[in-house]
Protein backbone atom coordinates (compact mmCIF):
# COMPACT_ATOMS: atom_id res chain seq x y z
CA UNK A 1 0.00 0.00 0.00
CA UNK A 2 1.29 3.43 -0.94
CA UNK A 3 2.17 5.72 1.94
CA UNK A 4 -0.16 8.65 2.50
CA UNK A 5 2.09 10.30 5.09
CA UNK A 6 2.60 13.26 2.76
CA UNK A 7 -1.09 14.11 3.25
CA UNK A 8 -0.52 14.37 7.01
CA UNK A 9 2.29 16.85 6.40
CA UNK A 10 0.15 18.81 3.96
CA UNK A 11 -2.60 19.02 6.59
CA UNK A 12 -0.10 20.11 9.25
CA UNK A 13 1.35 22.78 6.95
CA UNK A 14 -2.15 24.07 6.20
CA UNK A 15 -2.99 24.08 9.90
CA UNK A 16 0.26 25.88 10.76
CA UNK A 17 -0.05 28.54 8.06
CA UNK A 18 -3.78 28.88 8.56
CA UNK A 19 -3.37 29.66 12.26
CA UNK A 20 -0.26 31.83 11.78
CA UNK A 21 -2.06 35.07 10.94
CA UNK A 22 -4.52 35.01 13.86
CA UNK A 23 -1.83 33.98 16.34
CA UNK A 24 0.73 36.56 15.23
CA UNK A 25 -1.87 39.32 15.29
CA UNK A 26 -3.01 38.38 18.78
CA UNK A 27 0.55 37.89 20.03
CA UNK A 28 1.58 41.27 18.64
CA UNK A 29 -1.42 42.89 20.29
CA UNK A 30 -0.46 41.35 23.64
CA UNK A 31 3.04 42.77 23.12
CA UNK A 32 1.49 46.27 23.11
CA UNK A 33 1.24 46.25 19.32
CA UNK A 34 5.00 46.02 18.92
CA UNK A 35 5.59 44.51 15.47
CA UNK A 36 9.26 43.87 16.05
CA UNK A 37 8.56 42.14 19.36
CA UNK A 38 6.28 39.78 17.45
CA UNK A 39 8.94 39.31 14.76
CA UNK A 40 11.54 38.52 17.43
CA UNK A 41 9.30 35.72 18.71
CA UNK A 42 8.91 34.39 15.16
CA UNK A 43 12.70 34.49 14.82
CA UNK A 44 13.17 32.52 18.04
CA UNK A 45 10.77 29.87 16.74
CA UNK A 46 12.62 29.79 13.41
CA UNK A 47 15.93 29.49 15.25
CA UNK A 48 14.72 26.53 17.28
CA UNK A 49 13.03 24.74 14.38
CA UNK A 50 15.33 25.70 11.51
CA UNK A 51 18.74 25.75 13.21
CA UNK A 52 18.73 23.78 16.46
CA UNK A 53 16.61 20.86 15.19
CA UNK A 54 18.59 20.22 11.95
CA UNK A 55 21.92 20.56 13.80
CA UNK A 56 20.76 18.07 16.43
CA UNK A 57 19.71 15.64 13.68
CA UNK A 58 23.04 16.05 11.82
CA UNK A 59 25.19 15.75 14.95
CA UNK A 60 23.26 12.71 16.22
CA UNK A 61 23.69 11.00 12.86
CA UNK A 62 19.95 10.59 12.30
CA UNK A 63 20.28 12.71 9.13
CA UNK A 64 23.35 12.94 6.89
CA UNK A 65 25.18 16.26 6.64
CA UNK A 66 24.25 18.03 3.40
CA UNK A 67 26.82 18.81 0.73
CA UNK A 68 27.75 22.44 1.34
CA UNK A 69 27.50 23.67 -2.25
CA UNK A 70 27.52 27.48 -2.68
CA UNK A 71 24.52 27.50 -5.04
CA UNK A 72 22.45 25.32 -2.72
CA UNK A 73 23.41 27.41 0.31
CA UNK A 74 22.59 30.63 -1.55
CA UNK A 75 19.16 29.60 -2.77
CA UNK A 76 18.19 27.86 0.47
CA UNK A 77 19.15 31.05 2.35
CA UNK A 78 17.16 33.15 -0.13
CA UNK A 79 14.18 30.88 0.52
CA UNK A 80 14.59 31.45 4.26
CA UNK A 81 14.77 35.19 3.68
CA UNK A 82 11.61 35.04 1.56
CA UNK A 83 9.83 33.18 4.35
CA UNK A 84 11.03 35.67 6.97
CA UNK A 85 10.02 38.64 4.79
CA UNK A 86 6.61 37.03 4.29
CA UNK A 87 6.22 36.58 8.05
CA UNK A 88 7.21 40.20 8.62
CA UNK A 89 4.74 41.39 5.99
CA UNK A 90 1.93 39.42 7.67
CA UNK A 91 2.78 41.14 10.94
CA UNK A 92 2.79 44.58 9.30
CA UNK A 93 -0.44 43.82 7.42
CA UNK A 94 -2.22 42.76 10.61
CA UNK A 95 -1.06 45.91 12.38
CA UNK A 96 -1.94 48.19 9.47
CA UNK A 97 -5.40 46.60 9.26
CA UNK A 98 -6.09 47.47 12.89
CA UNK A 99 -5.58 44.09 14.56
CA UNK A 100 -7.86 41.08 15.01
CA UNK A 101 -11.00 43.08 15.73
CA UNK A 102 -10.77 45.16 12.56
CA UNK A 103 -12.83 44.07 9.58
CA UNK A 104 -9.87 44.36 7.21
CA UNK A 105 -8.00 41.80 9.29
CA UNK A 106 -10.26 39.02 8.01
CA UNK A 107 -9.04 39.59 4.45
CA UNK A 108 -5.32 39.29 5.10
CA UNK A 109 -4.99 35.50 5.15
CA UNK A 110 -7.33 34.77 2.20
CA UNK A 111 -5.52 37.28 0.03
CA UNK A 112 -2.04 36.07 1.00
CA UNK A 113 -2.89 32.40 0.62
CA UNK A 114 -4.70 33.08 -2.64
CA UNK A 115 -1.80 35.08 -4.05
CA UNK A 116 0.99 32.72 -2.93
CA UNK A 117 -0.01 29.68 -5.04
CA UNK A 118 -0.58 31.91 -8.04
CA UNK A 119 2.94 33.35 -7.80
CA UNK A 120 4.35 29.88 -7.12
CA UNK A 121 2.72 28.56 -10.29
CA UNK A 122 3.89 31.44 -12.47
CA UNK A 123 7.47 31.16 -11.19
CA UNK A 124 7.44 27.37 -11.65
CA UNK A 125 6.11 27.78 -15.19
CA UNK A 126 9.17 29.82 -16.24
CA UNK A 127 11.97 28.85 -13.85
CA UNK A 128 13.39 25.32 -14.21
CA UNK A 129 16.68 25.14 -12.27
CA UNK A 130 18.95 22.16 -12.91
CA UNK A 131 21.77 20.93 -10.64
CA UNK A 132 24.53 23.51 -10.89
CA UNK A 133 22.44 25.72 -13.22
CA UNK A 134 20.07 27.86 -11.15
CA UNK A 135 19.29 30.33 -13.94
CA UNK A 136 17.59 27.91 -16.30
CA UNK A 137 14.45 29.51 -17.73
CA UNK A 138 11.95 28.31 -20.27
CA UNK A 139 8.26 28.09 -20.89
CA UNK A 140 6.70 24.86 -19.68
CA UNK A 141 2.97 25.32 -20.00
CA UNK A 142 0.86 23.01 -17.89
CA UNK A 143 -2.58 21.76 -18.88
CA UNK A 144 -5.83 23.70 -19.09
CA UNK A 145 -6.77 22.91 -15.48
CA UNK A 146 -4.04 25.23 -14.22
CA UNK A 147 -5.44 28.17 -16.15
CA UNK A 148 -8.97 27.44 -14.89
CA UNK A 149 -7.51 27.35 -11.37
CA UNK A 150 -5.83 30.70 -11.89
CA UNK A 151 -9.14 32.17 -13.07
CA UNK A 152 -10.84 30.78 -9.96
CA UNK A 153 -8.12 32.31 -7.77
CA UNK A 154 -8.70 35.66 -9.47
CA UNK A 155 -12.45 35.36 -8.99
CA UNK A 156 -11.93 34.35 -5.35
CA UNK A 157 -9.64 37.32 -4.68
CA UNK A 158 -12.14 39.64 -6.38
CA UNK A 159 -14.97 38.25 -4.23
CA UNK A 160 -12.89 38.70 -1.08
CA UNK A 161 -12.11 42.32 -1.97
CA UNK A 162 -15.69 43.02 -3.06
CA UNK A 163 -16.99 41.53 0.18
CA UNK A 164 -14.60 43.77 2.10
CA UNK A 165 -15.85 46.88 0.35
CA UNK A 166 -19.47 45.81 0.79
CA UNK A 167 -19.03 45.26 4.52
CA UNK A 168 -17.31 48.64 4.88
CA UNK A 169 -20.28 50.36 3.22
CA UNK A 170 -22.70 48.55 5.52
CA UNK A 171 -20.58 49.42 8.54
CA UNK A 172 -20.49 53.10 7.61
CA UNK A 173 -24.25 53.09 7.05
CA UNK A 174 -24.83 51.64 10.54
CA UNK A 175 -22.37 54.05 12.13
CA UNK A 176 -23.94 57.11 10.48
CA UNK A 177 -27.67 56.49 10.06
CA UNK A 178 -29.64 58.97 8.02
CA UNK A 179 -31.62 61.39 10.20
CA UNK A 180 -35.33 60.71 10.34
CA UNK A 181 -37.43 63.25 8.50
CA UNK A 182 -40.76 64.35 9.84
CA UNK A 183 -43.65 63.82 7.48
CA UNK A 184 -46.37 66.47 7.70
CA UNK A 185 -49.88 65.10 7.98
CA UNK A 186 -51.98 65.70 4.88
CA UNK A 187 -54.99 67.98 5.45
CA UNK A 188 -58.13 66.03 6.08
CA UNK A 189 -60.89 66.21 3.48
CA UNK A 190 -63.51 64.43 5.52
CA UNK A 191 -66.93 66.15 5.89
CA UNK A 192 -66.53 66.41 9.67
CA UNK A 193 -63.36 68.44 9.28
CA UNK A 194 -65.11 71.13 7.16
CA UNK A 195 -66.35 74.33 8.93
How many residues can be counted in the chain? 195
Distance, in Å, from the CA atom of 144 to the CA atom of 30, rounded to the nearest integer, reads 47
| SS3 of residue 64 by DSSP | coil
Per-residue pLDDT band at 58 (split at 50, 70, 90): very high
Q: What is the mean pLDDT of the chain?
A: 81
Kindly list the distances between the CA atom of residue 29 and the CA atoms of 22, 23, 37, 91, 161, in Å, as whole numbers in the listed order: 11, 10, 10, 10, 25
Kindly list the distances between the CA atom of residue 79 and the CA atoms of 50, 69, 85, 121, 169, in Å, as whole numbers in the listed order: 12, 15, 10, 16, 40
Residue 54 has pLDDT above 90, yes or no: yes
Is the Cβ–Cβ distance between 11 and 20 less than 8 Å? no
Q: State residue 121's pLDDT score.
A: 81
Domain parsing of the chain, residue ranges: 16-101, 102-174
Q: Who's near 86: CB < 8 A, 6+ residues apart?
A: 112
Q: State residue 181's pLDDT score.
A: 60
Can you give the pTM of this predicted structure? 0.67
Residue 179 has pLDDT above 70, yes or no: no
Amino acid sequence: MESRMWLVYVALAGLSWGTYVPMIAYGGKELAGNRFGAMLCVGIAYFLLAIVLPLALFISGREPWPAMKPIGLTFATLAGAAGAIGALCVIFAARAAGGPKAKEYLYIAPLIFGLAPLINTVVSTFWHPEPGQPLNFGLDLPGWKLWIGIIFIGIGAALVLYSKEESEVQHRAKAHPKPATAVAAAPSTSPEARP
